[in-house]
């Protein structure tokens, strides 16, 4: 099964036995610093540096002036790690919101994973949680993110800082249209991360989907209210 974005739970980078230095380091550093170090190493120096910068900016609260999502956006792409939990639900929720608003114009909504295995079905927890929102992910099949998807999207939404760091590294020419989906929240949680529920349980998945629903309702309100038609 596709591993989730919580890299700290992935297998070690290699099988080399821990050196005395590494053993001492693990004893001295808090767990969260070891976690961040592991994420940096797995992302690599370029994406890792971007990830650390995003984390630092979040820690000091330097997110209030993030650019707004263009109101002319009509092609939306949601991105997560494996395209089996968060991003397919975000895709489905926005389609649901557009349907509720009886939009007649052409709007494209899709999702993909940075490390997806094409053809993977939605996670069982995703199937169960989605049903609570009157959404079926039974027919969903994961797809790997491509340069064409990025090129054709007006707005690209990442779920967490690792997603965004990788997107910015792989597609620097598209940085102006890469956003955190949480930027659509109001107040607490805005510009933060929407954590992967992969290592949680079905209730964690439901909570994640409630957050996604709020984001997509707000996005639809901002871009598709009568004033923006």
- For position 163, which CATH number holds? 3.40.50.2300
What confidence tens digit (pLDDT) does each residue in 47-57 have?
Answer: 999 999 999 99
Percent of the chain predicted with pLDDT > 70: 83
Model confidence at 5, in pLDDT bands (50, 70, 90)?
very low
**79 and 55 in a common domain:** no
Residue 2 lies in a domain: no
pLDDT of residue 18: 54
Q: 15, 53, 55, 80: which one is catalytic?
A: 80
The structure tokens listed for 1 are 């099964």
Q: Structural domain tally of the chain?
A: 2
pLDDT of residue 104: 59
Q: Measure the N-to-C terminal CA separation of the chain; round to a whole number of Å.
A: 43
Which residues constitute the domain of residue 88? Answer: 75-228
**123 and 95 in a common domain:** yes
Please state, in angstroms and rounded to a whole number, the distance separating the CA atoms of residues 159 and 10: 19
pLDDT of residue 26: 58
Q: Is 208 a catalytic residue?
A: no
**136 and 211 in a common domain:** yes
Please state, in angstroms and rounded to a whole number, the distance separating the CA atoms of residues 220 and 97: 7
Residue 84 lies in a domain: yes
Residue 65 lies in a domain: no
Q: Is 152 a catalytic residue?
A: no
**134 and 45 in a common domain:** no
pLDDT average, residue stretch 143-167: 98
**97 and 25 in a common domain:** no
The structure tokens listed for 86 are 């968060």
Q: Is 196 a catalytic residue?
A: yes
Query: In the predicted model, what is the mean pLDDT of the chain?
Result: 87
């Amino acid at each position: 099964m596709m591993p989730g974005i919580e890299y700290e739970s992935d297998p070690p980078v290699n099988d080399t036995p821990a050196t005395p230095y590494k053993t001492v380091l693990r004893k001295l550093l808090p767990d969260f610093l070891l976690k961040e170090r592991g994420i940096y190493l797995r992302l690599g120096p370029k994406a890792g540096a971007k990830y650390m910068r995003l984390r630092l900016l979040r820690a000091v609260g330097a997110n209030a002036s993030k650019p707004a999502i263009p109101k002319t956006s009509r092609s939306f792409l949601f991105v997560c790690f494996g395209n089996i939990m968060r991003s397919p639900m975000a895709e489905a929720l926005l389609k649901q919101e557009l349907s509720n608003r009886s939009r007649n114009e052409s709007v494209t909504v899709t999702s993909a994973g940075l490390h997806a295995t094409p053809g993977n079905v939605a996670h069982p927890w995703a199937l169960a949680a989605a049903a609570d929102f009157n959404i079926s992910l039974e027919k969903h099949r994961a797809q790997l993110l491509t340069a064409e998807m990025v090129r054709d999207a007006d707005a690209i939404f990442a779920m967490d800082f690792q997603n965004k760091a990788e997107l910015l590294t792989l597609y620097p020419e598209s940085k102006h249209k890469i956003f955190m989906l949480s930027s659509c929240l109001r107040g607490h949680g805005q510009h933060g991360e929407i954590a992967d529920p992969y290592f949680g349980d079905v209730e964690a998945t439901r909570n994640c989907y409630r957050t996604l629903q709020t984001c997509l309702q707000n996005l639809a309100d901002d871009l598709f209210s009568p004033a923006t038609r």
